[in-house]
Structures are given as structure tokens and as C-alpha cells.
Structure 1
Amino acid sequence: MLGIFEAITKRLVEAWKSDEPSGRRNAFRCRCERPIYFQNSFCLGCKTPLGYQPDDLQVLAMSPGPQPDWWIVEGEEDQETYWRRCENFDSPAGCNWLVPVDDEEPLCRSCRLNHTIPSLDNAESALWWRKIENAKRRLVAQLLQLGLPVVSKVSEDPEQGVMFDFLRSPEKGPRVMTGHAAGLITLNVEEADDSVRERIRHEMREPYRTLLGHFRHEIGHYYWDRLIDKTPWQEKFRELFGDEREDYAAALKRNYEQGPPVDWRDRHISSYASVHPWEDWAETWAHYLHVVDSLDTALRFGLRGEDVEQAVEPFTIDDLYDPKDADAKRVILLVNSWVQLTTVINELARSMGQQDFYPFVMSRTVLRKMHFIQLVVKEARGGASLI
């Protein structure tokens, strides 16, 4: 019998290195000590204004600065560091992120990535945009935590940056397709409609479909271009994921006509990952982000639980892409903790008549691919360990 949440917390506290961005091991709290959350712009208890400070990666209480619309965040009162709210604070996006007052860009590090937003003349589209931005801000915050490059293709780096088009399909078509091309991520805003997204999920026979999942998948394509293409990682990628030079259109056609291979579960995290090496990378990348963010949240909130029986055989260091890597032991602790956590949360979801929280099974081949991604991310952040 194993105390699952206790085991997760103990393992991760022991394993995670102390050089990570500050505050990641503590749930956000207002100066009044009430809990506050990632999307909050003011404390529901004491009404203190709050803002997300992207350098410290925290939601912090704020006090008025020396000029109108200038703010001082908690912990910086003696540094003469001033912030202003993102220009989208008063828009339907309701952005709670902060921008340094000396930054010429009026939009925060998340909102400045937008190239096209939905028409705000349509109340439905405005509501969808808010849901989309909530998911995108969570994505961008995690990318910043990982130490990955996040710059705007619109206003900062036209060659290597990333930007987003949020488009709605015309009544008479054609339908907007969610995807990535050369740093431009397009999202069909109708995906923010729960009923539409659920219908598509059923039609596509998918176990999981969310806005955040879309963002994590598509940003994976972007980082393949940034971190794998024409780098020393490319040949290693081909050995593990397959040769991306395979005809992509032909691979899609084959998948839609014949379906996935019978044994896809042995080698891929999802049936869609079996379509083409690019999709295998993007799907695995998305799951890497799922695992890291969910376990980070569990750790920050110090979750505990009753003893549960270990239902699966734990992974070992030999299951990793590089068992000799210096962080191999920590990676195994993280992944095995994830398996334990999802075992309990899936059962909790079932007890409420809901879908599984994590309706996937991670094979040893998938774990090797995820560890490969961990090594790529580690190099991208200058060799500093993430876990």
C-alpha cells in the first residue's frame, strides 16, 4: 500500500532542484493569506489588485505606483520597479498579466503573440476569445517556466518568433483548420464552444480534446522547427520517432482511409501520433507538458491522499532514452509519480461519472520519447535541469 500524494510530494521535493524559478513550490497567496489563482486579477477576499508578474512567474498583490496606472508588486517595494496592466486587461480577454512600464509594447508577453483575434462585434466570439486566452496564457506561462524561447513573430522576431491566428469559419465554408505553419499557429475559435468541441471529439473518436491540449500540440510543431530541424538532434529524432521526410499528405490520407496500425499503443501515446513522425513529436510534446504542469500543480498544493494499491509496474531507469543521463533518477521519480497520481484521479473522475482525467497509457517506447524531449528542453534552457 502506498500513500500516493504523500509519495508524490516526497519524491518531487527530494528530486526537483532548487535552481528553478522562485515560487513554484507554493500555491499563490494574497497578502491577506487567502489563496489566489493563476487567472485572478483581484483577491476575492480583501479585493487587493493582483497581477501575473512574468519574470517571477507568480500572481502577486499590487499597490498603486507614483503615477496613474503604475503598480508596485509585492516584494519589489524597495526596488523602484513599476508595472502596468496589459492593454487587454479591459478587453474581453480579461488579461491579468503585467508589463514593465518602460516596455514600449502595450501588450504582455502572452497577448503580443496574437496576430489575428476574433471579431469583438460578435458576443459569442468575444466569449470564446476569453476562453482561448485563458488557455494560451497557461501555455505561455509554462513555456517561460521551462526556459524555452517565447518571442512574438508579430513585433519581436519575424523570422523565428511565434504568433497566433484565432479564426472563425465562414457560414458557407471553408472550415478553419487548427494547425501550425512556419511559426503561425491557427486555431478555429469554435473549439472554445464546449458543445462543438465535444461533438468533434466524438466524431474523431478522441479520448481527450481541450483548448490547452490544442495549444500544447501545435506549439510542439513550432519547437520542432526551433529545436530539432537542422540541428544535431535531427538524426537522433529520426532514429526514435521516424523519418519526417515521409510524405505528410500521403500519411494523412492513409490514416483517414485505413485508420491507425493495430499496435499503435505499443509505440505511440495516441492513435493520431501514429500518423507521421511530426505528429508523433507534437503529441508526445503535448503530453510532456501535461505531465510536468500537472505534477507541478500537485506539488505546489501539497496534495495528500489515502493509501492506494500500486496498480502498475513502475518504470525503471533502463526504460529511459538515456539511462546514463545525470537526471535519469529524477525523471523516473517524476514519471512514476505521474502514473500514481493519474491512477487515483482517474478513479475519482469515474466516481463522479466523468471521463478519465488522463485517458492514456504510457508505454516504455513513449517514455523514451518523452525523455528525449526532456533532454532537448534541458539543452534549450542552457543545460540547466528541469527536474
Structure 2
Amino acid sequence: MKAFSCRVCGNSLYFENSICITCHTRLGFSRAEHAIVPVDDQGQYADADGRTWYVCRNLKLSGCTWLTERPGDSCFACGLTRTRPNDEDVEALKEYKVAEGAKRRLVVELDTLGFPIVPRTEDPVNGLAFDLLSSAKQKVTIGHASGIITLDLAESDDAHREKVRVQLDEPYRTMLGHFRHEIGHYIEWQHVRGDLIEQARELFGNEEESYADAIERHYSEGPPAGWEGHYISMYATMHPFEDFAETFAHYMHICDTIETASAHGLTTVASPQSFTSFRDLVVGVWIPLSVALNQINRSMGKGPLYPFVIPAPVLDKLQFVADLPRR
């Protein structure tokens, strides 16, 4: 995430800010400008071309500050959500707010990386949509199916998520991580086609293998011996689909963290996209940076920020993901 500052007073801003705490200017996020901009008391912003933009109608519902072209309308990011909790489900709406915040970060990073986002409302066959459901009142299975990403809002709750993380022996589990993993399934579905399928199979395995058998084997037998030398995580060992999604999630982890570090002067890298080889970026920038960040976390009495090791075969997979066509 880039660093943001108030255009009125120059104060530093967080991506989620709706008001500048220094000069009290109301704020909105312009996807077109990739910037936080000042809005008037009516929540309106006039851009350099004279067009008027309006703060999303979901500002109070989910904390969304994004701008939209029509007054009283939802913004692009909110429009990607197909299903959400009803207005009477107060507890689920709290979790929904956290999930929507993570989804907005996802959209910004996909924009930065150059992956097009086509809403389901525009393309019913290949478009993207999210079902954000609460497992408090129904069974929810996190996953992707033909462009529909389903997430359990209970994962927004720190206590619930940590309990599941410990049960599954995972080193890392966040709502943003779920979004990045599931969007990886969507990206593979949309972008790994033609000659790329054979390349993907050489790296990740044959995706036509039975997924149901893979799930049963994974949870009954665990990961194969020596998996650490070939996969980024235990979950990636389950099936080629999961290996790709996990790799794509880590590609996003790395890109976003390096961009944020650069924006705050912690590295001299202009952007991850300035490297022609993603492998070189990981070896030359990410590994030293993540080691330092892990040590900083330990200095605060916390666990490592990035508790993963990247072996050579995973570097090849990350390079494949980074080289995917943006179309």
C-alpha cells in the first residue's frame, strides 16, 4: 500500500481514514486517482476534469470511503459483494465491516498489479462476486466456484480465527489472507489457459487430479515427507489448485509489503513492478526485509511477521505467477 497524505494539510493518512484527524477535512478514496482526496460536507469531490464524485452509500454500514459516479450509489468495491448479512444481524455486520475493509485492500492491490477485475453484474459467466456469509446461523464453506468467492465472516473475529489457526497448525491466518488465497483460485481460472496449462502442471502438478480424494488424503495422512523443500505451506501440498492459490497469495503478500515498506522509506525499491525478475526481487529484497521485520516483531514480543521459508521450487512458482498475462 502506498503512503497517503491529506491534500489540505499534508498530514499522514491511513487507507481507512474518512476524516483527517489534524484538519478535520472529510475524505474519500478515488480509485481512478489511486489517492485519498478531500470531499465537501455533502460528500462530493470534483476532479481535475470537472467531474463530480460521491462518497459510497456504505460509509456508515461498512466504513467504505470510496467514491462513486452517482449519488447514493455503491462504489466499485462494494458492488462486488453479491450477498451480505441483513441489517438486523448486528453481530454479523460488525464482522462484515472487517471483511469489506480487507476486500478494498484486495481490489487496490489487484489494480496495482494490473489484474483486471470484471464484476459479475457485467459478465455473468466470467465475472467476480463475493458472498460474505456468517457461520453463526448457517454452515459456510470458504472457497471459490466459477467466479463466486465465499468467505465466512466469523474469520473476522480474532478469537475464532486464532482458534482455527491453532487447530489446523497454521503459521498464519488473516481475513486479508483468505481474500488473497481465494482470488488466486479466480486468477488461475481466468488466466492459466492455453500453453500456460502445461507450464503450470510442470510446477504445481496436474489440476485434473480428484480434489475430493486430495482433501481426504490431506486430512487423514497429512503433508508428504519433505514438503518444506517444495511448497510454501502445508495447505499447498493438498492439491495443485491449492498450491497455485497459496503461491498467488504469497505473491500478493510480498508485493504489498514491499510497496508499503518502500512508501515509508524502509527500502529503496521503487515498486515490485520495477524488477524484471520476481525471483531477484524475492532474493534481493524480500528475504532480507522479511528477516528484519521478523526481528522487529520479536522485539515487541510477537511472533515473526512472515513465518515462511521460500525454497528454490517455490521461487519458480512465484516467478510463474508474476509472469501471468494481465488481460
TM over 0.5: yes
Q: Tell me how far apart the structure 1 counterparts of residues 310 and 206 of structure 2 sit (CA, whole Å).
A: 22
Say if 1:168 and 1:26 are closer, same or farther in 2 by CA, change over 3 A: closer
How do residues 235-314 of structure 1 correspond to structure 2 at under 5 angstroms? 235-303=198-266
Instruction: Determine whether 1:336 maps to 2:306.
Output: no
Q: Tell me how far apart the structure 2 counterparts of residues 177 and 80 of structure 1 sit (CA, whole Å).
A: 45
How do residues 1-387 of structure 1 correspond to structure 2 at under 5 angstroms? 26-63=3-40, 69-73=43-47, 76=48, 79-91=49-61, 93-101=62-70, 106-153=73-120, 155-169=121-135, 171=137, 175-228=139-192, 230-303=193-266, 327-328=276-277, 331-376=279-324, 379-380=325-326
Q: Which amino acid aligns with 1:340?
A: P
Bigger relative CO (Cα 8 Å, ≥ 6 apart) = 1
Of structures 1 and 2, the larger Rg is shown by 1
Q: Tell me how far apart the structure 2 counterparts of residues 38 and 222 of structure 1 sit (CA, whole Å).
A: 25
Q: Which amino acid aligns with 2:128?
A: V
* Length, aligned pairs only: 321
Q: What is the CA deviation profile of residues 8-35 of structure 1, one whole-angstrom value per residue up to 9, with x for unaligned ones?
A: xxxxxxxxxxxxxxxx765434420110
**Percent identity of paired positions between Structure 1 and Structure 2:** 40
Show structure 1 runs of 4+ deviating over 6 A. none
Contact map agreement 2:136 2:154 (CA 8 A) in 1: no
Say if 1:27 and 1:86 are closer, same or farther in 2 by CA, change over 3 A: closer
Partner of 1:312: none
Q: CA deviation at 1:63?
A: 4.2
- Alignment gaps of 5+ in structure 2: 269-274
Contact map agreement 2:279 2:316 (CA 8 A) in 1: no
Q: Tell me how far apart the structure 2 counterparts of residues 50 and 200 of structure 1 sit (CA, whole Å).
A: 36
Contact map agreement 2:279 2:315 (CA 8 A) in 1: no
RMSD of aligned residue pairs (Cα, Å): 2.0
Q: CA deviation at 1:352?
A: 1.9
Q: Tell me how far apart the structure 1 counterparts of residues 282 and 259 of structure 2 sit (CA, whole Å).
A: 10
Q: Tell me how far apart the structure 2 counterparts of residues 361 and 69 of structure 1 sit (CA, whole Å).
A: 46
Q: SS state of the match for residue 83, structure 1? A: strand
With normalisation by structure 1, the TM-score equals 0.79
Say if 1:335 and 1:31 are closer, same or farther in 2 by CA, change over 3 A: farther
Contact map agreement 2:4 2:15 (CA 8 A) in 1: no
Q: SS state of the match for residue 76, structure 2? A: coil
With normalisation by structure 2, the TM-score equals 0.93
Q: Tell me how far apart the structure 1 counterparts of residues 200 and 264 of structure 2 sit (CA, whole Å).
A: 36
